[in-house]
Amino acid sequence: MKNKIGINKTQEKITSLITVLTVAYVFHSIIFLLVNLIPLTNKISWLENHYILLLPIYLIVIFALAYLFCKKVNFKLLVKNKIISFLLYPAITIIAYYFARFLVRLFFVILFVGDTTKINSIMNNNVVVAVYSAVFFLIMLAILYLVPTKLTGVKITKKEIGLVGLPKWSDIGVAFVGLLAALLVSGILMLIVQAVVPNFNINQAQNVGYSSNHNPLMMIIAFLMLSVVTPLCEEVIFRGVLYSQVRKISIYGSMFITSIVFAYAHGQLNVAVTTFAMSMIMCYIREYVTETLWAPIFLHSLKNGIAFMFLFIFPNLMLLNG
């Protein structure tokens, strides 16, 4: 038996659980930030000495607050405000990014009983990094898809995401042209940022997480993850879910905020500049050229494939970060 937004009772329970966990993580992050900002050295020392007793109480309080927040706050009413509606999905995307990363790292900490040496050692294995990345993307997609559905009562459709029909040969052609445009725009932005930001390192290499050893299996895994899985997942997250929901308020505003969040997720400044430019082009392609997500996926895959060649096959040549 499905409810009015098209999910059954089991799916609704899972959605509710993920929503409460996500909100609890936000509350925990706020408390953690406040504890670090406020000078409470003596109190923190006392808390550390009694953490075994206090941890269960803390968790119960956090989850209770999260549950009450989800239960009592009327998000359906709040999202009628255009500003709140515009900011909701970017905020949830950033929260999903950090929460997914937190959960995957927590798993490794528990698995190796906090032994950072073992954790750092195993993260040099491309198979482990691939599993880490795949689980990270799955968690992030689940949060980004399910939490807003629970809070707003609006289910995101495949058509909104842009996964409509099958890819066309023309999508590949558009991807090639889009890549050239993205490289041109990112080059211009790089020159501007270089002129404005002191000590900006335009050639800083991006750490993609995968080992560059020449074991054929490890190289194939790195290639598939960087050039196939990552572009597909990131496009569904950013140009799919995030862009499609924010564009309901403003198309150009959605292009900009999606690209800002996408750039932010890539960390270092020189990579953020190129990813921002690429995102703007991909949003434009999706909106005005193909109206689907296939061409942006191909563009992203092509860009990362070229970057893979420079990072792993020809590392002594100029790097294309992506």
Single-letter residue type at 85: S
Token pair 């995101």: residue: 156
Q: Residue 123 CA to chain centroid, in angstroms?
A: 20
The pLDDT of residue 151 is: 76
Q: What is the CA radius of gyration of the chain?
A: 21
The first and second tokens of residue 30, run together, are 């706020």
* Whether pLDDT at 165 is above 60: yes
Confidence of residue 105 (pLDDT cuts 50, 70, 90): confident
Calculate mean pLDDT across residues 101-126: 78
Calculate mean pLDDT across residues 171-179: 95
Q: Which residue has the higher pLDDT, 188 or 216?
A: 188
Measured between alpha carbons, how far is 242 from 240 in angstroms, rounded to an integer?
6
Cβ neighbourhood burial of 151 (10 Å; 0-12, 13-18, 19+): buried
DSSP annotation of 318: P
The pLDDT of residue 170 is: 94
Measured between alpha carbons, how far is 53 from 31 in angstroms, rounded to an integer?
18
**Among 113-122, 203-212, 260-269, 291-300, which range has the highest average pLDDT?**
291-300
The pLDDT of residue 253 is: 93
Residue 22 CB: number of other CB atoms within 10 A?
24
Measured between alpha carbons, how far is 187 from 166 in angstroms, rounded to an integer?
32
**Span of 96-100, 116-120, 181-185, 262-266 with lowest mean pLDDT:** 116-120
Q: Which residue has the higher pLDDT, 198 or 103?
A: 103
**Span of 79-88, 192-201, 202-211 with lowest mean pLDDT:** 202-211
The residue ranges of every structural domain in the chain are 74-313
| Mean pLDDT of all residues belonging to the chain | 82
Confidence of residue 322 (pLDDT cuts 50, 70, 90): very low
How many degrees, rounded to 5, is the angle at CA 259 between CA 256 and CA 261? 110
The pLDDT of residue 320 is: 44
* Whether pLDDT at 114 is above 90: no
Q: Torsion angle, CA of 64/68/69/72, rounded to 10 degrees? A: 180
Give the dihedral sign, CA 295/274/208/211. Answer: positive
DSSP for 187-241 reads: HHHHHHHHHHSTT--TTPPP--S------HHHHHHHHHIIIIIHHHHHIIIIIII
The pLDDT of residue 68 is: 87
The pLDDT of residue 282 is: 96
